[in-house]
Structure 1
Amino acid sequence: MRQAHHPELGEILLTEVMAALSDPIRVGLVRVLADGRERGWGELRAPVAKSTLSHHLRVLRDAGLTRTRQEGTRCFVLLRREDVRARFPGLLDVVLAAAEADDVGRQVGLKGGPNAA
């Protein structure tokens, strides 16, 4: 697998971040990752095919919202909360609060978690 591109702080664009956050599955992924823990892709549960989940994770990474790390055959993802906060102060907190209030992305969780199917 080739090395994934992660935008530098100055390359993170508001329009790209907002576009990435326009999908409920991606908002759900951000909610899951908001605890600050790095998660293996296999830990994530969403009502989509694995290829579609991979697409959503790539959109988040390309927008600068997440950082992906590969270790052997496993991939891990981490929310770039501090980078997003430095670039757009308060944005992520507002988005997460609104998503929680409106229950956006509730169908996304961790395997074996409270929303497990």
Structure 2
Amino acid sequence: MSKQPTHPNLDQIELNSIFEAVSDPIRRKILLDLSEKGESNCSTFLVYAPKTNLSYHMGKLRDAGMIFTRYEGTQRFSIIRKEDLEKKFPGLLDTILKSAKLESAQEEVSGSKV
């Protein structure tokens, strides 16, 4: 049986941790995908990084309080903590996602990828 990951409580979520988490383009892409698809299997994001690197990025997002991850057998599913983030920092998640969407559109136009 897999041990469930720990997540910060609402009062433990800090702005500095969020900014650090979204400073990486891979993590912004993960958040954008989660915002569009809802809860997703972590293997969905293997297009952005190898498995070990992806675990690191998912851990950063989870430790910052941006996502909730649950284990189901050998699979991990993650979802954005929208309600918690909106309660703690109103409008911040929407701003981050809008910026990530803009960044993604610019990459598509220029043909570059992370």
- With the shorter chain as reference, the TM-score category is 0.7 to 0.9
Shift of 1:36: 5.9
What are the ranges of 5 or more consecutive residues in structure 2 without an aligned counterpart?
Answer: 109-114
SS of the residue 1:92 aligns to? helix
RMSD in angstroms over aligned alpha carbons? Answer: 1.8
Q: In 2, distance between residues paired with 1:36 and 1:91?
A: 19
Correspondence for 1:71: 72
Q: In 2, distance between residues paired with 1:42 and 1:101?
A: 24
What are the ranges of 5 or more consecutive residues in structure 1 without an aligned counterpart?
Answer: 108-117
Which amino acid letter does the alignment assign opposite residue 15 of structure 1? N
Q: Judging changes above 3 Å, is the alpha-carbon distance between structure 1 residues 8 and 36 closer, same or farther for their aligned structure 2 residues?
A: farther
Deviates more, 1:32-41 or 1:65-74: 32-41
Correspondence for 1:28: 29
TM-score (norm 1): 0.83
* Post-superposition CA distance 1:66-89 (Å, at most 9, x none): 000001111100111111111000
Correspondence for 1:95: 96
Give the number of equivalent residue pairs.
106
Correspondence for 1:4: 5
Correspondence for 1:60: 61
Which amino acid letter does the alignment assign opposite residue 77 of structure 1? S
- The 8 Å contact of residues 67 and 80 in structure 1, kept in 2 or not, is answered as yes
Deviates more, 1:23-32 or 1:41-50: 41-50
TM-score (norm 2): 0.85
Matched, 1:40 2:41: yes
Shift of 1:3: 2.4
SS of the residue 1:93 aligns to? helix
Q: Structure 1 stretches (4+) deviating beyond 2 angstroms?
A: 43-47
Shift of 1:98: 1.5
Which amino acid letter does the alignment assign opposite residue 91 of structure 1? L
Q: In 2, distance between residues paired with 1:47 and 1:64?
A: 21
